[in-house]
Amino acid sequence: MNNFVYRCPTRIIFGKDVIKDTGTFVKNAGGTDILMVYGGGSIKKNGIYNTVVESLKESDVKFTELSGVKPNPRLDLVLEGIKLVREKKINLILAVGGGSTIDTCKAIAFGSAVPEGEDIWDDYFMVLGKPIPKGIPVGVVLTIPAAGSEMSNSCVITNHNTLNKRGISNENNYPVFSVIDPQVCYSLPAYQTACGCSDMLSHMMERYFTNTSGVDLTDELLEGAMRVVLNYAPKAVSNPDVYEYREQLMFASTLAHNNLFGCGRQQDWASHWLEHELSAQYDIAHGAGLAIMTPAWMRYVWKENPQRFVQFFTRVLGSTLPVTDVENLVKDGIERLENWYRLIGLPVRLSEANIDGSNFELFAERCLSGGRTAAGGLKKLYRDDILAIYRLAL
């Protein structure tokens, strides 16, 4: 295991009907004048909007609204939020949504604290590893499980002018609280449920595929949590309103990305980097893009650490092929994974998502822009490797 520092201070409030008490959690976190951020109309249709607003009023919390967050959240809206925070003297930002909404709020929070003369995009998102200033607190009412942003230090924003999608991981990004009621998932379309499950599984795989030795404990935790996602995702896709399915997936998605499972391990993240270029350009859902890029990535890199893939496919995907025939076991394992993606209704090839190879050169270039020299941890991927993987995904 590598040396590590771990801290995750977000308070999780999890269970049936906890959203009704949102106002209390906001108040306890010091929120009196808040910015409430959300996406489009879905929270108005499914009643979450009303529940939250009622609870805020009961607790005498004043709120300003900022709506219109879309998947692959945009820098434009972040800048609009920063303006509102300054104008209205906001002291807490409440995200009511999924990963895109939460990431928008995280960016607004630290963006409001960026010193004069610095630019949130050029001086932070495009600079690898730069610490961010501590902004006002962010609270979350989670409406879509997937991203894990509700308990993570990461924040991914897309600049639609430059078509760059970039993430920042920093301790100041943790929400102060996250209110998580699995019942909010009942109304999610099957495709969105599936994309969420693909994303949470990927957050675990990105941590699992490592060359670090002495990682038995986090291996066990990751393997167990991945088995739960693999087991419950198809159930939730076919039976959307069973609480028992939703709670397992919602808790798994939160744990997948708070980095406990990644402690002391070299992590990979190549599939995420390669996917980010897809969804920045095509507005394909992130989880669908991962279902395409991950198997392609596996085909290209498995020889770098065959034993890790053997362990993954036998312990997590239930392969029973002889471990002596590694090549066959890996081939079969990747097919098992692809079959699972298909089972929950996701594409596993770019062609199935109507994406052709015309932008691969551009993707590879963007993927390695902003001071990045290579993608991935298990195998370092340079321009030609990245192009090869995109081609395998066709």
Residue from 7, 15, 49, 8 nearest 179 by CA = 15
> At its nearest, how many Å lie between a second copy and the CB of residue 4?
5
Query: How big is the CA angle at 252 (ends 223 and 342), to the nearest 5 degrees?
Result: 75
- The pair of structure tokens assigned to 216 is 């038995």
Question: Please, which residue, 125 or 340, has the CB nearer to a second copy?
Answer: 340
146 scored as a contact of a second copy (CB under 8 A):
no
Q: Identify residues 15-44 at the interface with a second copy (CB under 8 A).
A: 15-16, 18
Count residues near a second copy (CB under 8 A): 41
What are the C-alpha distances in Å from 232 to residues 205, 227, 235, 253?
A: 17, 9, 5, 12
Asked if 89 interacts with a second copy (CB under 8 A), we say: no
Nearest Cα neighbor of 246 from 259, 263, 228 is: 228
* Site for a second copy contains 14 (CB under 8 A): yes
What gap in Å lies between CA 279 and CA 281, rounded to an integer?
5
Q: By CB under 8 A, tell whether 5 contacts a second copy.
A: yes
Q: Are 85 and 35 in contact (CB under 8 A)?
A: yes
- Contacts with a second copy, 216-255, as mask; x by CB under 8 A: xx-xxx-xxx-xx--xx----------xx--xx--xx--x
Q: Which stretch binds a second copy (CB under 8 A): 31-39, 99-107, 211-219, 319-327?
A: 211-219
Task: Decide: is 8 part of the binding site for a second copy (CB under 8 A).
Answer: yes
CB atoms under 10 Å from CB of 227, counted, come to 15
User: Which span sits near a second copy by CB under 8 A: 3-11, 83-91, 162-170, 352-360?
Assistant: 3-11
Residue 294 C-alpha from the chain's centroid = 15
Minimum distance from CB of 222 to a second copy (Å)? 9
The least CB distance from residue 282 to a second copy, in Å, is 33
Binding mask 252-291 for a second copy (x = CB under 8 A): x--x----x--xx---------------------------
| Token representation of residue 23 | 């106002």
Q: Which stretch binds a second copy (CB under 8 A): 38-46, 160-168, 215-223, 344-352?
A: 215-223
Contact criterion met (CB below 8 Å) for 120 and 78: yes
Length of the chain: 394
Nearer to a second copy, 2 or 169 (CB): 2
Q: Which is nearer to a second copy, 63 or 177 (CB)?
A: 177
d(CA 1, CA 151): 23
Quote the tokens at residue 143. Answer: 């409406």
Asked whether position 351 contacts a second copy by CB under 8 A, the answer is: no
Fill in the DSSP letter of residue 323: T
Q: Quick check: 111 and 82 in contact, CB under 8 A?
A: yes
Contact residues for a second copy, defined by CB under 8 A = 1-16, 18, 213-214, 216-217, 219-221, 223-225, 227-228, 231-232, 243-244, 247-248, 251-252, 255, 260, 263-264
